[in-house]
Amino acid sequence: MEVIIQPNRETAALLAARITAHEIRGNPHLALGLATGKTMERVYGNLVLMHREARLDFSLCRTFNLDEYVGLFPADPHSYRHYMDEHLFRHVNIDPRNTHLPNGMAADLEAECRHYEALIQRFGGIDFQLLGIGKAGHIGFNEPLSALRSRTRVKALTPTTIAQNAPEFGGTDKVPRRAITMGVGTIMDSRRCLLLATGHSKAEVVAQAVEGPITSMVTASALQLHPRCTVIVDQDAAGKLREKDYYRWIFENEPEWEEYR
């Protein structure tokens, strides 16, 4: 893992967007894994600007989202399909046929999960996966005790996650209880991944994921085993990390990061 500490949530999201744009420019056919949540909104905002102002081209990209709620139609304003359309897809030149999310309305949810895994495989696997982190330490909706080798499947959401997402739905009772999510194993198969976390509320869980033991109680900790994982945090989310000075030294001195400093 590489940890990059940025001064604030804006610079952290901008850096995540710049790295994503670099990946797209390096491989126009990129299979791009996408995440949702408040944190990602700033990343997508920056990508939209880069499309408008710097001709960032999504026309050949294929996207695969991490997850989708069970029981919501794509047009539902709370669905992740709707989120993606609003924050990214309809503002850039991506072909809607190349954008993929699990179908939370499938009659046979297990078949839908197998289909989603097969689809990712058919396109050669995910090249670059964007990730947020939930307050329960989850990536995608891989809640505590998710098998670290799990594949796409239906997961029941924890009370912590339901409470975290309740404001979007206007109350805890309105949040779907289940979601289809890529498994930890699916995410681990991506060639590169980038986790972005900002704000005080993520400090504890970031420290557990980055510096704590690898455990299914904090599924983001599995990323410690990923060969190419970058974690970007702002000062607030970095608050409980022990090795901050070391991470800062690496970002300031290693040639790999020169163009981003």
Residues that bind ligand GLP (CB under 6 A): 35-39, 66-67, 132-134, 140-141, 161
CB of residue 9 to ligand GLP, shortest distance in Å: 10
CB of residue 260 to ligand GLP, shortest distance in Å: 22
Name every residue whose Cβ is closer than 8 Å to that of residue 192 and which is 6 or more positions away in sequence: 23, 127, 128, 129, 228, 229, 230
Backbone angles phi, psi at 231, to 5 degrees: -115, 120
CB of residue 78 to ligand GLP, shortest distance in Å: 12
CB of residue 126 to ligand GLP, shortest distance in Å: 14
- For ligand GLP, the closer of residues 27 and 212 by Cβ is 212
In order of 13, 61, 98, 194, 234, the CA distances from 16 in angstroms are: 5, 17, 22, 7, 11
CB of residue 133 to ligand GLP, shortest distance in Å: 5
- Contact (Cβ atoms closer than 8 angstroms) between residue 101 and residue 80: yes
- For ligand GLP, the closer of residues 94 and 176 by Cβ is 176
- For ligand GLP, the closer of residues 8 and 253 by Cβ is 8
* 249, 254, 256, 259: CA torsion to nearest 10: 70
- The single-letter code of the amino acid at 168 is E
